[in-house]
Amino acid sequence: MRSDVTLQPLDRARLRDLLHAAVEDADPLEVMPPVPGPGAWTPQRRSAFLRFHESRSLSAHPVEATFVIVVSGRVVGAARLCPLEDREGTVEAGVWIGRSHRGVGVGATVLELLLDQARARGCEGVYVSTTPANSAVRALMTGLGVDLVPDGDELVGCVRLTADA
Ligand SMILES: CC(C)(COP(=O)(O)OP(=O)(O)OC[C@H]1O[C@@H](n2cnc3c(N)ncnc32)[C@H](O)[C@@H]1OP(=O)(O)O)[C@@H](O)C(=O)NCCC(=O)NCCS
């Protein structure tokens, strides 16, 4: 675990920092749902990014919990836990990290911290969905002993949380 990596709850001030990290260091499709129009960080796409998090995590009735990933005091990405309607006690995890911070152990630490957050919320499982090409997520799941299985075009799996896990 890297000791310089923390998760902080998303708020409006951190959302501005998160947008900055996304625009500087990530592709839109890595960090938000597709938006019609050119693929770059257009003003419309930046607004959509803010609306996406405001509606899902900062509204009066949030549908998911979002954290900013902070490395040595700097926001570098986001991690989310979204309850699954059809699986009580299970949350879906979502993570993105800026390109310049990938491949150096931030993701592995974030995953541990995210599992701690899920455990603290009383969840029994954390669902993960990725693409076969995503070697980093596959390695992270292998490290946890979780088998990913094909589901359509994706690979899916569930990290089981127990009191002593
Ligand atoms: C997926 C992601 C969160 C992983 O975070 P990361 O900080 O890059 O991962 P780490 O450096 O902690 O590495 C985790 C494992 O993946 C492996 N790995 C990392 N990058 C890799 C790459 N490009 N190819 C192959 N393996 C890779 C590491 O070797 C490590 O494996 P190990 O534990 O067996 O040594 C990050 O790459 C990312 O944000 N990618 C873009 C968005 C995304 O794909 N999100 C997930 C959607 S499901």
Domains of the chain: residue spans and CATH:
5-160 (3.40.630.30)
Distance 34 CA to ligand 1 centre (A): 22
- CA-130 nearest atom, ligand 1: 48
pLDDT block averages, 10 residues each, the chain of length 165: 97 98 97 91 96 97 98 98 96 98 98 98 97 98 97 98 67
Kind plus residue range of the DSSP H or E element containing 61: none
**Residue with token string 């998303």:** 10
Atom of ligand 1 nearest to the CA of 136: 16
Query: Taking CB atoms and a 6 Å cutoff, what residues make up the pocket around ligand 1?
Result: 30, 95-97, 102-108, 130, 134-137, 139-140, 143
Give the pLDDT of residue 38: 87
Alpha helices in 33-126 (DSSP H): 43-57, 106-120
Rounded Cα gap, residues 99 and 38, in angstroms: 21
Quick one: which of 82, 95, 78, 69 has its CA closest to 126? 82
| pLDDT score, position 164 | 55
Residues 130, 124: Cα–Cα separation, whole Å:
20
What integer pLDDT is reported at residue 41 of this predicted model? 97
pTM given for the model: 0.96
Q: Name which residue sits closest to atom 47 of ligand 1, judged by CA.
A: 130
Q: Residue 43 Cα, ligand 1 centroid: separation in angstroms?
A: 29
Each as own residue / partner, the long-range contacts of residues 138-144 (CB below 8 Å, 24 or more positions apart, any chain) are: 140/107, 140/108, 140/111, 143/108, 144/111
Are 7 and 71 a contacting pair, CB within 8 Å? no
